[in-house]
Amino acid sequence: MAVDVVEVALGARAYEVRIGQGLLAQAGAEMAPLLRRKRVAIVTDETVAPLHLATLEAACAEAGIATAALRLPAGEATKSWPHLATCVEWLLEQKVERRDVVVALGGGVIGDLVGFAASVLRRGVRFVQIPTTLLAQVDSSVGGKTGINTAQGKNLVGAFHQPSLVLADIGVLESLPARDFLSGYGEVVKYGLLGDAAFFDWLEGNAVDLARDPAKRQRAVLRSVQMKAEIVARDETEEGDRALLNLGHTFCHALEKATGYGDRLLHGEGVAIGCALAFELSSRLGLCSQEDPSRVRAHLKAMGMKLDLADIPGDLPGAEALLALMGQDKKVIDGKLRFILARGIGQAFVAEDVPGDLVLRLLQDALDAKL
Ligand code: GLY
């Protein structure tokens, strides 16, 4: 299968996202044109390293590129000050210089952490993203958002630092646990819902095959990345349109906070539930037809995804508490909640003035399983 290439058109910071089967085994040749000296520092985690690090190291060796690798613990807790310090200090010990390239091999946690480390190391060095999860391939590895979590919240410390290249090997997704794959699918379906009704139609007919059909998987990753690249090129630092990528995320962040950002609810699962709620809210506001939320729900159900609040194990706080958790969302501007709503499938927009009582009623109905 051919490699698909998406250009993220950001002028001097433009780069390619290359999408294909087997790219990891060619990563040395892919990265070689970027290198001023034939040496890269790779940062990965303890889950990804046994699965994919040897392939990357062999690919580099084949291209005459020396490597050093750091393995960090897997999991969200790694996106923290202590691991940032470990990463930056290790890169300095490896004598990574301004003109060198750092490689992030892993999912969203590694991509965000290593990208941020690269942004501050010697006031900024280049980095390459090699995302190994569906979520990272279609979302977090593209667009340059990097950062860590602090005691005050998620992603509150970070920088926009664009990678120099993204290598999305759709073959590595075969090693993902089914639940992680499905969680990443939450971000894929988001693209159809926010801006491409024809893609959503295609997903309705084909998404059940994505985990086992490489051609369909490549098509889904490609379309997602194309949409993300277009939006990021229009609005790199989220002054406007980039907020559309947060469809479903205001609900999602509240649910993630309520469930402790852990195994009870994975990010992409929360995004899918959030998208369904955003369409329900849009329908209640008379913005879209009543069939639209039903169609979204039917598709998520057909995919075997979490859909209702009752699908989240354990107790959730009440509607008012959930609304309050939304109020802490970092996307709140001047105390006003913003939602990404939709005028139909593929027609999302940023709404600034959504009545709070309507959101409260929606949350209450969702908690009472009345959707
Ligand atoms: N994940 C949303 C964004 O990159 O803007």
Nearest CA to ligand 1 atom 3: 245
Mutate to test the pocket of ligand 1, among 109, 116, 133, 140 (most ligand atoms within 8 A of CB): 140
Helix 291-302 vs helix 197-206: angle between axes, to the nearest 10 degrees? Answer: 40
Q: How far is ligand 1, taken at its centre, from the CA of residue 124, in Å?
A: 21
Distance CA 69, CA 71 (A): 7
Q: What share of the chain in percent tops pLDDT 90?
A: 91
Residue 245 near ligand 1, beta carbon < 6 Å: yes
Same domain, 101 and 68: yes
Q: How far is ligand 1, taken at its centre, from the CA of residue 44, in Å?
A: 21
pLDDT per position as a tens digit, 45-59: 999 999 999 999 999
pLDDT value, residue 337:
75
Q: Single out the residue in 156, 175, 194 at which a domain terminates.
A: 175
Q: What is the DSSP letter of 238?
A: -
Q: How far is ligand 1, taken at its centre, from the CA of residue 330, in Å?
A: 13
The closest-lying atom of ligand 1 relative to the alpha carbon of residue 245 is 2
Same domain, 49 and 113: yes
Mutate to test the pocket of ligand 1, among 245, 253, 256 (most ligand atoms within 8 A of CB): 245
Residue 139 near ligand 1, beta carbon < 6 Å: yes
pLDDT value, residue 331:
53
pLDDT value, residue 251:
95
Same domain, 234 and 329: yes
Buried b (16+ CB within 10 A) or exposed e, 42-58: bbbbebbbeebbebbbe
Same domain, 91 and 32: yes
pLDDT value, residue 328:
56
Mutate to test the pocket of ligand 1, among 109, 246, 271 (most ligand atoms within 8 A of CB): 246
Same domain, 129 and 274: no
Q: Single out the residue in 175, 201, 234 at which a domain terminates.
A: 175
Same domain, 71 and 194: no
pLDDT value, residue 132:
98
Q: Single out the residue in 115, 147, 175 at which a domain terminates.
A: 175
pLDDT per position as a tens digit, 288-331: 999 999 999 999 999 999 999 999 999 999 999 999 888 755 55
Same domain, 23 and 122: yes
Residue 145 near ligand 1, beta carbon < 6 Å: yes
Q: Which two tokens stand for residue 246?
A: 């947060």
Beta bridge partners of 38: none
* pLDDT greater than 70 at residue 107: yes
Distance CA 274, CA 111 (A): 24
Same domain, 25 and 171: yes
Instruction: Determine whether 64 is exposed, middle or buried from the number of CB atoms within 10 Å of its CB (0-12, 13-18, 19+).
Output: exposed
- CATH number, domain of 216, equals 1.20.1090.10
Confidence of residue 363 (pLDDT cuts 50, 70, 90): very high
pLDDT value, residue 122:
97
* pLDDT greater than 80 at residue 333: no
Q: What is the residue range of 239's domain? A: 178-370
- CATH number, domain of 156, equals 3.40.50.1970
Buried b (16+ CB within 10 A) or exposed e, 344-365: ebbbbbbbeebeeeebeebbeb
* Mean pLDDT computed over every residue of the chain: 95
Same domain, 69 and 83: yes
Q: What is the mean pLDDT of residues 207-231?
A: 98
Residue 242 near ligand 1, beta carbon < 6 Å: yes
Mutate to test the pocket of ligand 1, among 10, 133, 145, 250 (most ligand atoms within 8 A of CB): 145
Q: Are 131 and 166 within 8 A, CB to CB?
A: yes
Distance CA 355, CA 342 (A): 16
Q: Are 26 and 61 within 8 A, CB to CB?
A: no
Same domain, 266 and 334: yes
* pLDDT greater than 70 at residue 335: no
pLDDT value, residue 336:
62
The closest-lying atom of ligand 1 relative to the alpha carbon of residue 143 is 4
Domains identified in the chain, total number:
2
Distance CA 25, CA 6 (A): 20
The closest-lying atom of ligand 1 relative to the alpha carbon of residue 145 is 4
Q: How far is ligand 1, taken at its centre, from the CA of residue 36, in Å?
A: 30
Nearest CA to ligand 1 atom 2: 245
Residue 154 near ligand 1, beta carbon < 6 Å: no
The closest-lying atom of ligand 1 relative to the alpha carbon of residue 242 is 5
Maximum mean pLDDT: which of 191-200, 256-265, 318-327:
191-200
Active site residues: 123, 145, 187, 228, 238, 242, 246, 249, 253, 267
Confidence of residue 30 (pLDDT cuts 50, 70, 90): very high
Q: How far is ligand 1, taken at its centre, from the CA of residue 221, in Å?
A: 15
Q: How far is ligand 1, taken at its centre, from the CA of residue 61, in Å?
A: 34
Same domain, 161 and 253: no
pLDDT value, residue 233:
98
Same domain, 212 and 350: yes
The closest-lying atom of ligand 1 relative to the alpha carbon of residue 142 is 4
Coil vs helix vs strand at 6: strand
The torsion of the CA quartet 116, 120, 124, 126, rounded to 10 degrees, works out to: -30
* pLDDT greater than 70 at residue 283: yes
- Return contacts of 286-295, CB within 8 angstroms, 24+ apart: 287/341, 287/342, 287/343, 288/342, 288/343, 288/344, 288/345, 288/347, 289/344, 292/342, 292/344, 292/345, 293/371, 295/204, 295/345
Query: Could you tell me the pTM of the whole model?
Result: 0.96
Q: What is the mean pLDDT of residues 225-254?
A: 96
Distance CA 83, CA 110 (A): 10
Instruction: Determine whether 327 is exposed, middle or buried from the number of CB atoms within 10 Å of its CB (0-12, 13-18, 19+).
Output: middle
pLDDT per position as a tens digit, 142-179: 999 999 999 988 899 999 999 999 999 999 999 999 99
